[in-house]
Amino acid sequence: MEYTTLGRTELRVSVVGLGCGGPSCLGLRRGATEDEAIAVVECALDLGVNLIDTARGYHTEEVVGRAVAGRRAGVVLSTKSRVEDRSGPLSAKSLAQRLEQSLKHLRTDCVDLYFLHGVLPGEYEHCVKELVPELFRLREQGKLRYLGISERFQEDPQHQMLQRALQNDCWDSVMVGFNSLSPSARESIFPRTRAGGVGTLIMFAARHLFEREAQSSAEIADAAYGFCRREPGADVILTGTGSVEHLKQNCESILRAPLPPQVVPA
């Protein structure tokens, strides 16, 4: 496994991150048992993957908590919360309650990264005014180490929310969609994150390519992950699966020597 320092944080993270959401949610959405999902997380840890990204809405926090029990010291835990509930914009009090629930599920007293999740451009002002001060308070209490924000890439493919967020200095990390079909973050996001020391977690590295291309899975994975891995400004490439063997293949693709420029789209 290869490791890097995540932006300006003190977190030494694997360049491969295990994503516990997406279409699979560690296989749970496709009929896997909790023990099978736990085996995927344990395999990731055995391969040297130390960044595990989950979320309240994925319903995988408890699985992750069970999987990392006894190994917490070596794991960088990332979890997230949406910024709305059934009644509208999320209150600071509700955000604190959600973090408490996540800590309980994850069997820890502090998460390394806490993201406001899937934020749309119109929701950002509420995040800054109401939720960020609460996150600062929770950080002072020792319940989280670093603040992050993730975009809703499918609805905001031009990264309008993140472009605005990166004008503020409160974010230690961002989660951004980037792949060879949608590489706009190269111009609009990565120069800003690199200049500001903001760590990046890359999502959607391969998901859309698997849906659109007719090549074999191995070829797609090598091209898709190779494209992202060689991009300056891409710190951690997230990959999600419910299969141990698929996880191993994806790790190999990400860690393989970067593809030459003529092999993948510029």
Active site residues: 58
Q: Which two tokens stand for residue 34?
A: 């909790």
> How far is CA 202 from its chain centroid?
7
Distances (CA, A) of 207 to 42, 54, 58, 72, 247: 23, 17, 17, 29, 14
Helix H or strand E segment including 141 = none
Distance CA 15, CA 126 (A): 32
C-alpha separations of 194 from 8, 153, 199 in Å:
10, 20, 8
H or E element at residue 29 = none
Amino acid present at 133: P
Buried b (16+ CB within 10 A) or exposed e, 187-220: eebbebbeebebbbbbbbbbbbbeeeeeeeeeeb
CA distance linking residue 74 with residue 221, whole number of Å: 27
CA distances from 8 to 30, 48, 198, 204, 234 (A): 37, 22, 6, 24, 14
3-class SS string, 34-85: HHHHHHHHHHHHHCCCCEEECCHHHCCHHHHHHHHCCCHHHCEEEEEECCEE
